[in-house]
Amino acid sequence: MSAGPVGETWETVSWVGDSASGFVRLIDQTRLPTEFVRIDCRDVATVWEAIRSLRVRGAPAIGIAAAFGAVLGGQGMVGGDSDALRKGLRDASEQLRTSRPTAVNLFWALDRIDRVADSVELPADQLLDRVLEEAQAIADEDKAMCRAIGRFGAELLPSGHNVLTHCNAGGLATADYGTALAVIFAAHEQGKSVHVFADETRPLLQGSRLTAWELQRRGVPVTLICDNMAAQVMKEGKVQMVVVGADRIAANGDTANKIGTYGVAVLAKAHGIPFYVAAPSSTFDLSLPDGSAIPIEQRDPAEITAGFGRVTAPEGIAVYNPAFDVTPAALIAGIMTERGVIQPVNAASIAATLGTAGVPH
């Protein structure tokens, strides 16, 4: 199936049908950029597998997929009583929580679903309708937050700037518009001249497979580079700003993002280039005072030794494959959120901007 024409828009994760018989539809991101394929998930196990295998990825999109996935867990209980339905929803939530450990949006979204299920007194069929409404609200709120992040971030992006980004923080990682890429999309739509350097993002190439694909289809000029070329393009004066997304942000501003982000931040500091993070309030975890407590997912060694099916390392070699790293707040010039840009990046500024309403804590 073709990857589609330039200018095409898409919905990364959506719910199709009613609460009792509907299902989750998502883009299989493992097939991009050569194939644009949507898959339908009709049970919790299929959603779990889609999250775990990165068919759906990006912190906000994972949260949305999990919220919709929890609804699937209640479908077989609609004919029974509300307590049976709640058990089905709770079992689904517990299963989905084991899919990936780092992105806090997963747990934040499921916490919202659990609270609704536990607090609303309705017949089983009406309760499942209410839970689906909450899951859809999570998706709709993310769309609005992404647009707001884009507006605030675009104010910091002058026309004529070259921006470097790492991994994928676009529409494929969210409900609609992205976080880091929302800043670029908004500036582009305002008529600003913007060019992007996209790191390929080893080992799974989210930058080359996904970010470059998104930017190209939205008509934004983009140049793909290998991860180890970032220092050189900075040294040559070709980059004026770095903008990345986030999977979890601690109370002091330490930020977990795709492995390699910390290195990019260090390089940006060495070259005097501002390094920004773009993320919604749902990505903050105020229960963690700093980034040292952020859980870092360890992934299959085969992603490095036999990536995309081709063996590139000796058999039996030891492999270390963390999916994320943590960038210290001291290296971050600002965090672009839907409530404004947090500057300077520290616990006091974060608390002043976000408070605690709607933020994990």
Residue 52 is part of a domain; what is its CATH number?
1.20.120.420
* 204 and 336 belong to one structural domain: yes
Paired tokens of 321:
């494959």
* 280 and 308 belong to one structural domain: yes
Q: Give the pLDDT band (50/70/90) at residue 228.
A: very high
CA 305/CA 338 separation, integer angstroms: 39
**pLDDT, tens digit (0-9, with 9 covering 90-100), for 243-265:** 999 999 999 999 999 999 999 99
Is residue 311 assigned to a domain? yes
Give the residue from 118, 145, 172 where a domain finishes.
Answer: 145
Give the residue from 125, 145, 165 where a domain finishes.
Answer: 145
- Would residue 247 show up in a list of annotated catalytic residues for this protein? yes
The amino acid at residue 138 is I
CA 139/CA 12 separation, integer angstroms: 10
Give the residue from 145, 163, 180 where a domain finishes.
Answer: 145
Is residue 169 assigned to a domain? yes
The pLDDT of residue 24: 98
Contact 278, 60 (CB under 8 A): no
* 137 and 154 belong to one structural domain: no
Is residue 292 assigned to a domain? yes
Give the count of alpha carbons within 13 A of 259, CB side only.
14
* 141 and 193 belong to one structural domain: no
Give the range among 34-48, 106-120, 343-357 with minimum mean pLDDT.
343-357
Is residue 361 assigned to a domain? no
Paired tokens of 256:
């977990």
**How many domains does one find in the chain?**
2
| pLDDT above 90 as % of the chain | 90
* 268 and 314 belong to one structural domain: yes
CATH number at residue 225: 3.40.50.10470
* 128 and 173 belong to one structural domain: no
**pLDDT, tens digit (0-9, with 9 covering 90-100), for 178-216:** 999 999 999 999 999 999 999 999 999 999 999 999 999
142, 176, 227, 247: which is the annotated catalytic residue?
Answer: 247
Residues 6+ apart with CB under 8 A from 26: 12, 13, 14, 38, 39, 41, 50, 55, 56, 65
Q: Which domain holds residue 90?
A: 13-145
Q: Give the pLDDT band (50/70/90) at residue 8.
A: low
**pLDDT, tens digit (0-9, with 9 covering 90-100), for 123-157:** 888 999 999 999 999 999 999 999 999 999 999 99
DSSP 13: E
Mean pLDDT rounded to a whole number for the chain: 94
* 116 and 82 belong to one structural domain: yes
Contact 221, 198 (CB under 8 A): no
Q: Give the pLDDT band (50/70/90) at residue 357.
A: very low
* 175 and 213 belong to one structural domain: yes
Of 352, 330, 327, 355, nearest to 342 by C-alpha is 352
Q: Give the pLDDT band (50/70/90) at residue 176.
A: confident
| pLDDT above 70 as % of the chain | 96
* 241 and 319 belong to one structural domain: yes
* 159 and 281 belong to one structural domain: yes
Is residue 323 assigned to a domain? yes
H/E segment holding residue 267: helix 261-270
